[in-house]
């Protein structure tokens, strides 16, 4: 497998070229903003509301509107692709793509997601 992108929906912040994920700079900034803002707000519903109010161009509108729904944000915030990993079945492997989020930020988001999940139950 060797950390290649095996297809499917390309995560926000990347584009796919020759079975590899390549950082899309503008979208990657939005991903960084989403992680940072989530750590500040401590709430996916509040993050969703704020993100949905962001201005986007006409060509981006449909893609970003879907990306900022609550369920998609939970998925985005927990996706290890953003720290340079790829998932194959149940295993994580080092990807051949650059990370967008540093490990400390990702781990902080995972801890907050886990804590919030326990409080929702």
Q: How does pLDDT run along the chain (121 residues), one tens digit per residue?
A: 567 677 788 899 999 888 889 999 988 999 999 999 999 999 999 999 999 887 776 656 556 666 788 999 999 999 999 999 988 788 888 989 999 999 999 999 999 999 887 655 4
Give me the torsion for CA of 84, 95, 70, 90, rounded to 10°.
-120
Structural domain of 43: 14-120
Q: Is residue 5 part of a domain?
A: no
Q: Is residue 7 part of a domain?
A: no
pTM of the model: 0.87
Closest CA to 112 of 27, 63, 68, 46: 46
Q: Inter-axis angle of helices 103-120 and 70-77, to 10 degrees? A: 130
Q: What is the CATH number of the domain that holds 112?
A: 3.90.1750.20
With H, G, I as helix, E, B as strand and everything else as coil, classify residue 20.
strand
Helix (H) or strand (E) holding 9: none
Q: Is residue 60 part of a domain?
A: yes
- Count up the domains in the chain and report the number: 1
Q: Is residue 39 part of a domain?
A: yes
């Amino acid at each position: 497998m060797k950390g290649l992108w095996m297809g499917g929906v390309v995560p926000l912040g990347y584009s796919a070229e020759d079975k590899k994920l390549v950082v899309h700079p503008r979208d990657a900034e939005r991903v960084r903003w989403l992680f940072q803002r989530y750590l500040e707000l401590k709430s996916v519903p509040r993050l969703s509301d704020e993100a949905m109010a962001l201005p986007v161009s006409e060509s981006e509108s449909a893609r970003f509107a879907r990306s900022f729904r609550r369920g998609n944000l939970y998925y985005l915030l927990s996706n290890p692709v953003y720290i340079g990993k790829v998932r194959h079945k149940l295993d994580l492997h080092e990807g051949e793509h650059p990370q967008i989020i540093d490990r400390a930020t990702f781990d902080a988001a995972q801890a907050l997601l886990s804590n919030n999940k326990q409080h929702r139950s």
